[in-house]
Amino acid sequence: MPATPQDVLRRVFGYSGFRGQQEAIIARAVGGGDSLVLMPTGAGKSLCYQIPALVRPGAAVVVSPLIALMRDQVDGLRQAGVRAACLNSTLAYREVLDVEAGLRAGRIDLLYVAPERLLGERTLALLDEIDLALIAVDEAHCVSQWGHDFRPEYLELAALAERFPGVPRMALTATADEPTRREILDRLRLGDARVFVGGFDRPNIRYRVVPKQNPREQLARLLAEEHAGDAGIVYCLSRRRVEETAAWLRERGIDARPYHAGLGARERDANQEAFVRGEGVVIVATIAFGMGIDKPDVRFVAHLDLPGSLEAYYQETGRAGRDGLPATAWMAYGLQDVVTRRQMVDGSEADDARKRIERRKLDAMLGYSELATCRRRSLLAYFGESPPARCANCDNCLEPPETWDATEDARKLLSCVYRTGQRFGVAYVVDVLRGKGGERVRRFGHDRLPTFGVGADRDAAEWRSVVRQLVARGLLQVDVDGYGGLRLTGEARPALRGEVAVTLRRDAPARRARRGRDAGAAGVQERRRSAGPAHQALFDALRARRRELAVDQGVPPYVIFHDASLVAMAERRPRSPGEFAAIPGVGATKLERYGETFLAVIHAHGDAADAPAVNPSTTGAAAGTDVAGDRPGTDL
Ligand code: ADP
Ligand code: ZN
């Protein structure tokens, strides 16, 4: 009798229930239908094709663009007892022959293959010979010529529809905007596909945006105070900034490594590998990094520069916390970001229609950055989903920012920009507003303007914040070709006349300096340590064992068990194989392979922990042993 999806979920992957639309998606594929699956990073797309691959007869083919990561994916599946293999240019000829023989003999259920390899006649002919369970196209947005991940080979995947009629196909991506969706359906000839848009909320990710002051220092503080020893990704806009930031972090003792398209392939792969296999590596990258990386224990994603769209932001931040444990999405944002991004759009080669779309996307991103209300709500609304009743996990929900009626202040600022001739930069305009009459101000006679000094009641930082917010809203514009002069836009008129109310959010630098903490930081550590110090020590011991096993087998630690599984072991302390099997992520194969060794760790630890109760004099010693394992980087 064939296994049901539910059986496979439990027996192979060790999970007790499906998430979101997984069940419906799997049923569609098992029934032979095509689908397009749009789910955010970390929502659980892989199981959507892995389970049909095991339920349906024959082998499933998974097209994936990232050769460097295929091996990890295959290793992960093999750990769970799945008969998986890959075909790509990194394989030796003998290995290729092995895989081909395995396929012919029905010994492979899941084959990961690079698109160019799949489309080679040799592979196609081989696939003609065997039963195909499913063709899955991962990272399907790579067919989109507009996207930054465009891969020309992906366009040729359309041919699979004719070559293998009757084989269900599934395209998957985390990029969910409408044009990309249409392109995928069209270019992959998925006319009959059912479209599943699923579960965009990532409740374990805490969204935070801070005003950019000294971004590197701010980042260093985030890492030191909340993410010591954690794996994370830092995104920067330029290669140079990537290099500088990585070097700067390294000087501060953080294992940070650069990643961008300008590095040699060897260095890039080595850095990626260190990140994937390590436990506390920070990768500093341009957007070139991240696709196809399914490392589950990325604890933070930090943006030092503003992404160009909410799609990009959501995809990048989604790489945090796939294991469901608490994770941070943090961004430093300032006026220069607005200016740079606007300039990128305006100066691009794209046609006008495209530019209009890009501008809209940027405006949405800016709106999000300036938000005074729940960020999660705004993100989900943007992606067309209804928000959860309660967020309680973004900076604005945790510490609602003050807003103030800035109608008058906006007028003062706009008027000052206007009267000084719409050619001076922020610093100058703010000086005039605050009545700071330097030599230059006097030379231009601006100390005699009616707006001179009308803003003396606010400090320069406050005025800069007003400028940024008005620029973000499109009332002011920064002249990027000249000297950064501020200019009014057509939108400014009603505000200048005081016909519309302007409400702004109060940036919190002053408030923050007093309290020494970013909004949203409060409670992160507590939240992450909810398991308590007793569990922490056992968690560390389990983690050490996992590391040994990973090194022995040359695989990333997380393919043995996710942190989430180790946390559950530390909390529940299973004593028998039966209890161990109930831990999420423990399937039949992992139980058999690792049950004994991890139970032994739990057992040994239990004895150590119990000992002090019997003999208080050993308390110090026992605790001492445990604490010794409490290195930085072992935060829960
Ligand atoms: P995506 O490909 O959508 O980015 P993944 O397929 O890598 O996401 O899944 C993210 C994480 O969620 C993985 O660690 C996976 O093991 C876990 N996961 C997926 N589905 C379930 C489920 N039904 N129950 C528990 N964990 C799940
Ligand atoms: Zn919120």
* DSSP per-residue string spanning 181-230: HHHHHHHTT-TTPEEEE-----TTEEEEEEE-SSHHHHHHHHHHHH-TT-
Handedness of CA 453, 459, 463, 466 (dihedral sign): negative
Mutate to test the pocket of ligand 1, among 36, 37, 46 (most ligand atoms within 8 A of CB): 46
Cβ distance 581 to 10 under 8 Å?
no
The ligand 1 atom at the shortest distance from the C-alpha of residue 45 is 3
Handedness of CA 534, 536, 539, 545 (dihedral sign): negative
> What separation in Å is there between the alpha carbon of 19 and the centre of ligand 1?
8
CA distances from 284 to 234, 266, 622 (A): 5, 16, 39
Alpha carbon distance 277, 602 (integer Å): 24
Q: Which residues line ligand 1 (CB under 6 A)?
A: 15, 18-19, 22, 39, 41-47, 294, 296, 322-323, 562
The ligand 1 atom at the shortest distance from the C-alpha of residue 48 is 6
Cβ distance 168 to 136 under 8 Å?
no
pTM above threshold 0.75 = yes
Cβ distance 110 to 82 under 8 Å?
yes
334, 339, 80: which is closest to 214 by C-alpha? 334
Q: Most distant CA pair in the chain: distance in Å?
A: 90
Percentages helix, strand, coil for the chain, rounded to the nearest 5?
A: 50, 10, 40
If phi > 0 it is left, if psi is from -120 to 50 it is alpha, else beta; for residue 114 that is: beta
Residue with tokens 């992960």: 76
Alpha carbon distance 532, 526 (integer Å): 9
Residues shown for the chain: 636
The ligand 1 atom at the shortest distance from the C-alpha of residue 9 is 23
- Which amino acid residue places its CA nearest to atom 15 of ligand 1? 44
Beta-carbon count within 10 A of 322 CB: 24
* Predicted pLDDT at 608: 56
308, 315, 312: which is closest to 359 by C-alpha? 308
Phi, psi of 610 (to 5 degrees): -75, -30
Beta-carbon count within 10 A of 424 CB: 23
Cβ distance 306 to 341 under 8 Å?
yes
Mutate to test the pocket of ligand 1, among 9, 10, 13 (most ligand atoms within 8 A of CB): 13
Ligand nearest to the CA of 396: 2
Cβ distance 69 to 293 under 8 Å?
yes
The ligand 1 atom at the shortest distance from the C-alpha of residue 22 is 23
Alpha carbon distance 18, 24 (integer Å): 10
Q: 3-state SS string over 90-153? A: CCCHHHHHHHHHHHHCCCCCEEEECHHHHCCHHHHHHHHHCCEEEEEECCHHHHCCCCCCCCHH
Joined together, the tokens standing for residue 575 give 């004593």
Alpha carbon distance 472, 372 (integer Å): 14
Q: Residue 196: beta bridge partners? A: 37
Residue with tokens 């260190």: 274
If phi > 0 it is left, if psi is from -120 to 50 it is alpha, else beta; for residue 309 that is: beta
Beta-carbon count within 10 A of 416 CB: 25
Alpha carbon distance 484, 490 (integer Å): 18
Alpha carbon distance 208, 317 (integer Å): 11
Mutate to test the pocket of ligand 1, among 15, 25, 276 (most ligand atoms within 8 A of CB): 15
Cβ distance 519 to 396 under 8 Å?
yes
**Residue 62: enclosing H or E segment and its boundaries?**
strand 59-63
Q: How many helices (H) and strands (E) does the chain have?
A: 31, 17
CA distances from 50 to 12, 85, 136 (A): 10, 13, 9
Residue with tokens 């109760």: 613
Q: Residue 234: beta bridge partners? A: 284, 302
Joined together, the tokens standing for residue 196 give 């599943």
Cβ distance 267 to 298 under 8 Å?
no
Q: Are strands 476-478 and 298-303 parallel, antiparallel or unpaired?
A: unpaired
**Residue 496: enclosing H or E segment and its boundaries?**
helix 492-496
Alpha carbon distance 429, 446 (integer Å): 10
Ligand nearest to the CA of 368: 2
CA distances from 476 to 126, 230, 340, 403, 490 (A): 61, 40, 15, 20, 9
Cβ distance 273 to 52 under 8 Å?
no
Alpha carbon distance 462, 466 (integer Å): 6
Cβ distance 40 to 15 under 8 Å?
no
CA distances from 214 to 218, 279, 333, 510 (A): 6, 28, 10, 14
* Predicted pLDDT at 634: 29
Average pLDDT, 10 consecutive residues per value, the chain (636 residues): 89 93 96 94 91 97 88 92 94 95 97 94 95 96 84 93 95 85 94 89 94 94 94 96 97 96 92 92 90 88 96 92 94 93 89 90 94 94 84 94 94 96 94 91 93 94 93 88 86 93 82 53 54 78 95 93 94 96 96 97 75 35 33 31
The ligand 1 atom at the shortest distance from the C-alpha of residue 318 is 4
Alpha carbon distance 113, 621 (integer Å): 53
